[in-house]
Chain A
Amino acid sequence: MSEQSKRPLLYLAEFETADQIMAAAEKCRDEGFEHWDVHTPYPVHGMDQAMGLPDSRLGWIVLACGLTGLSLAVLMMQWMNGFDYPLIIGGKPADAYPSMVPIMFELTVLLSAFGATFGMLGLNKIPRHHHPVFYSDRFEACSNDRYYVSVEAEDRKFDIEKTKAFLEGLSPSHLELVTEQEES
């Protein structure tokens, strides 16, 4: 491995327990990194605070989508049954609201669910199949039973030597510098 010749991309520190990764995340947060991340096989409780992350904004996206669904349902039914082709059924006014409630509800839920799913993918910027963490041969264990901290080279405070020393201070079970790969 000629690490000097290739551009460094990130440091990947491996940990074996949830307690260790929590402690490591808190220290990275206090160190003031910005382009860094924690990778875990499952969501670890309290990790957002340990990383100093703000609350997810997804709820607002879902709210907007849900209101869109509700408005669409009202406009669609009022226009189709009340205005464009008035249908008098069961002696009720053509534009009666009560019988429209079920579909108003369903479309609200439908668009909210689209908002939750695609909003989540959008906020996470996935699908993305080419992240540098995948260059590591050990990273496959992340979806099994290992925990990782990654500090990316584009971080302001990233320094080959200093960051290495800092991460070694967290006593990971393995530490690796992931470098740029030649196109295969």
Chain B
Amino acid sequence: MSAASTPIAAIGETRLLPEHVDNALISEQVSRVTETEAPLGWWIYFGISLMGLGVLGVSVSYLFWEGIGAWGNNSPAGWAWDITNFVWWIGIGHAGTLISAILFLFRQRWRTSVNRFAEAMTIFAVICALLFPSIHVGRPWHIYYTLPLPNQMWMWPNFKSPLLWDVFAVSTYFTVSLLFWYVGLIPDLATVRDRAKSLTRKRAYGAFALGWRGSNRHWRNYERAYLILAALSTPLVLSVHSVVSFDFATSVMPGWHTTIFPPYFVAGAVFSGFAMVMTLMIIARQVYDLKDLMTMKHLENMNKIMLVTGSLVGYAYSMEFFIAWYSGNEYERYVFINRATGPYWWAYWWMVTCNVISPQLFWFKRCRTSIPIMFAISILINIGMWFERFVIIVTSLHRDYLPSSWGYFSPTIVDIGCFVGSLGLFFTAFALFIRWLPQIAMFEVKAIVPGSQPSHHGPSHHEAPAGAPALATKEA
């Protein structure tokens, strides 16, 4: 083992996992979480989340009873927190796909410790995201109008509307993410099944493990399926947030009608998603003591990605401002000056401080490797990205063309309840996930442990043919 790390050290790289990590330790550390009593930390986390979920139940029930007038939305600000929350949640979901699919295609092996986590986060975030447009329609029992189903009006949906593209993009995204996540879980569910002591556990995990037996004839198709799903998810994730940005970009609102939106939204989505993965990972790592598998190296790599995407977002903010001035369009110019200095100036500067300035601390290695600092910055980024969507949506709408139709949006208690409640839904689902499912992709981590792959290929493995010169290998 130490011989295998010599070439790694020679090129100045450190190993991804500590030296003592082997296959049995990985199975033990990850599966143990689902087999033992939950620690106190989990109950505290779960309890708080469940209260949040209760808030959601109350808020949404009241909203359905009263109608969406219970929100602060008005004319001209017909979209406000609801769509802000939708875009924010979708963006958070995107890091999961990025980590699981794009980093897979780029053979970034450090992803194996975090991808399961991030994929679960994607699923729960997309559920929260889907909630908001559904309750925003006002009469949610008519939501099926958005689907191409025969209905009593004898009309079909308008396929030229980006809102309809969104229906297809987000529901496809949810389905594909769920399939990707489940396919990844199958071999690990088999591990949990094989370790199970009670028949109930064996049956419950076994049913979902589909009788997986680690057969190489299966791995062959399995790995191909995984590759194809990754290759499909990569353009999908870019398309989903592009389509979300089309909701704005195809309109004629100043501040929305820009071609920079699709890449700008995608960068922001990745940025906020990584921040949310970081927040959750730090909590789970502390509560469940998984420091051998989620190492500082993993956290540092993620911080580097946040630095890059945060700077991209900062570039987009300044370019947007510059183009607004350069366009010579007075409405466009006004919207941007109004964002920074108008009635919502505080939201704009929250956004800039959290998203552009705070991640710059990650230039320093001391900040990149300090748990308290990265935890604080990840929370700040989550806040900042929420404000970004709020700024884009509300500051553009509240003062558009005619000063006579200007207005101001303030949230009501129901707005706040729905948002806090969606956090409750997300964290409750996440708490159940880390309690009952393998939260690290065991088989993928095993595959990158030193010595887990054959040292070399070819027919002469152990004994060189008599008389032939001995092959020089790394082990020799």
Q: B-contacting residues of A (Cβ < 8 Å)?
A: 17-19, 22-23, 25-26, 37-51, 53, 56, 58-59, 62, 76-77, 80-81, 84-85, 87, 89-90, 92, 96, 99-100, 102-103, 105-107, 109-110, 112-114, 116-117, 119-121, 123-124, 126-131, 133-134, 139-145, 148
Contacts and interface: CB of A to CB of B under 8 A. Distances in A.
A42 B444 contact: yes
Contacts of A130: 211
Nearest to A58: B224
Nearest to B457: A46
B217 A19 contact: no
Contacts of B169: 102, 106
B168 A106 contact: yes
Contact of A110 (B175, B235, B457): B175
Contacts of B159: 77, 80-81, 99-100, 103
B160 A89 contact: yes
Nearest to A69: B172
A144 B457 contact: no
Closest 10 CB pairs of A and B: A145-B23, A120-B225, A80-B156, A127-B210, A140-B194, A42-B447, A56-B224, A143-B191, A129-B211, A38-B216
A133 B211 CA distance: 11
Nearest to A127: B210
Contact of A87 (B160, B214, B223): B160
Nearest to B190: A143
Interface string B437-476: 0000001101100011111010101100000000000000
A146 to B, nearest CB: 9
A156 to B, nearest CB: 18
Nearest to A120: B225
B461 A18 contact: no
B155 interface: yes
Nearest to A105: B239
A97 B210 CA distance: 42
A169 B457 CA distance: 21
Contact of A120 (B164, B206, B224, B236): B224
A12 B161 CA distance: 59
Most buried by A among B219, B222, B455: B219
Interface string B23-61: 110010000000000000000000000000000000000
B148 A76 contact: yes
Contact of B228 (A40, A59, A81): A59
A148 B165 CA distance: 49
7 contacts: A43-B216, A46-B454, A58-B225, A81-B159, A89-B161, A106-B169, A131-B213
B462 A43 contact: no
A184 to B, nearest CB: 12
A143 B165 contact: no
Given A109-B176, A116-B228, A145-B24, A123 B213 contact: no
B219 A47 contact: yes
A80 to B, nearest CB: 4
B407 interface: no
Contacts of A96: 160
B366 to A, nearest CB: 36
Given A113-B175, A145-B23, A40 B195 contact: no
Contacts of A109: 172, 176, 232, 235-236, 239
Contacts of A22: 454, 457, 461
B160 to A, nearest CB: 4
Contacts of B148: 76, 80
A9 B475 CA distance: 39
Given A22-B454, A85-B155, A99 B160 contact: yes
A41 B176 contact: no
B238 to A, nearest CB: 10
Given A18-B452, A42-B443, A126-B210, 7 more contacts: A41-B23, A53-B220, A90-B160, A99-B160, A134-B211, A142-B194, A143-B212
Given A123-B221, A133-B213, A102 B243 contact: yes
B319 interface: no
Interface string B160-200: 11101100110010011001101100010011011100000
A56 B454 contact: no
A52 to B, nearest CB: 11
Contacts of A140: 194-195
Given A18-B453, A90-B160, A144 B191 contact: yes
A127 to B, nearest CB: 4
Contact of B215 (A23, A39, A59, A144): A39
A14 B380 CA distance: 52
B452 A116 contact: no
Nearest to A40: B214
Contacts of B447: 42-44
A21 to B, nearest CB: 8
Contact of A23 (B162, B195, B462): B462
Given A80-B156, A140-B194, A37 B451 contact: no
Contact of B461 (A23, A121, A131): A23
B97 to A, nearest CB: 12
A109 B232 CA distance: 6
Most buried by A among B22, B180, B222: B222
A133 B179 CA distance: 27
Most buried by A among B195, B225, B246, B446: B225
